[in-house]
Chains A and B, each alone.
Chain A
Amino acid sequence: MSLVARHLEAHGIATVIVGSAMDIVSHCGVPRYLHSDFPLGNPCGRPYDRSMQLSICSQAIALLRAAQTANAVTRVPYEWSQDNSWRDDYSRVDASNREELARRGAERRRRQAEAKAAGTERAAMIAEG
């Protein structure tokens, strides 16, 4: 999505990204980024919390106007939980899943080779939680 933002911006459409992956977006470089420090999946606010979702959306719109230069980054004023264990949990690799991951990788490569032979599939990033 960062590449889409850059393309739109270069062609005269001002953009703001609302996301939850600070390192990826910063590494790419985007015009404006509003960071929701939440688990991936709910950058616009906690599910069913309409008030938080409206507040985050308003902040994104405000950033469109407020940013004066590229790589403008702000953060939403909310935290997901006082329990931060979700941060350690994402795509963790340890002794408990190492064997399963190796097996899954082999299976995925087999499926991709089949899809490629059929000429039907565009490869996605690995989808894991």
Chain B
Amino acid sequence: MGKSYDVPYMERTRDYYRAQGYAQDYQWAHHAETPFHRLSKPPSQCRVGVVTTAMPDTPSGRARRQVYSSLSAPIPKSMYTGELSWHKTVTHTDDVGSFLPLEALMVLEDEGGIGSLAPRFHSVPTEYSQRNTREQDAPEILERLREDEVDVALLVPL
């Protein structure tokens, strides 16, 4: 039923902001060039780090949007997604496996598809300010992933 098409989220968001009385449209990040680092070894020899836009479901995670690190095991039973822009009228985030692939990566580790899952994963806030992301949060995530000695990162925005 109905036509299948890629939802134009930038256009929808722009119209939604305008309807709420915001005079200036949000300017989405755009770049002519994209950095690329070729993977030099097979995934079966790589340590994988995970980064999510969901915050920890803790008093601090609920109260304050910032970079957090949490243990990968045991897998958290819930994450705080209340302030994120996901499609609340048609789905839910009660199953963390639907947006945080820790269990799947543990299976791949057992099967030898990846070397290992890093012992912790990281939360990064979605930000209106791209400057905050570029100058504060992204460098912080890089530093933490280096501490974790990961080779690759799987990034999952909701």
Contacts and interface: CB of A to CB of B under 8 A. Distances in A.
Given A6-B34, A39-B87, A91-B13, A47 B152 contact: no
Contacts of B108: 54, 57-58, 61
Contacts of A9: 34-37
B42 interface: yes
Given A1-B51, A83-B1, A128 B85 contact: yes
B51 A40 contact: no
B24 interface: no
B4 A93 contact: no
A38 B156 CA distance: 14
Contact of A105 (B1, B22, B98): B22
Contact of B87 (A54, A90, A104, A124): A90
Q: Is the interface of B mostly helix, strand, loop or mixed?
A: loop
Interface string A35-54: 00111111111111110011
Interface string A77-97: 001001111111111110001
For chain B, give the interface size range.
35 or more
Given A18-B156, A41-B99, A129-B86, A13 B150 contact: yes
A16 B156 CA distance: 9
B151 A14 contact: yes
Contact of A22 (B6, B34, B35): B6
Interface residues of A, number: 87
Contact of A44 (B7, B31, B100): B100
Nearest to B11: A23
A116 interface: no
Interface string B119-143: 0000011111110111001110110
A74 interface: no
B107 to A, nearest CB: 6
A14 B153 contact: yes
A12 B53 CA distance: 22
Interface of A: 1-19, 21-24, 27-31, 37-50, 53-54, 56-58, 60-62, 64-65, 67-71, 79, 82-93, 97-98, 101-102, 104-106, 108-109, 122-129
Interface of B: 1-13, 15-17, 19-22, 26, 28-39, 42-43, 46, 48-49, 51, 53, 65-66, 81-95, 97-101, 103-105, 107-108, 113-114, 124-130, 132-134, 137-139, 141-142, 145, 150-158
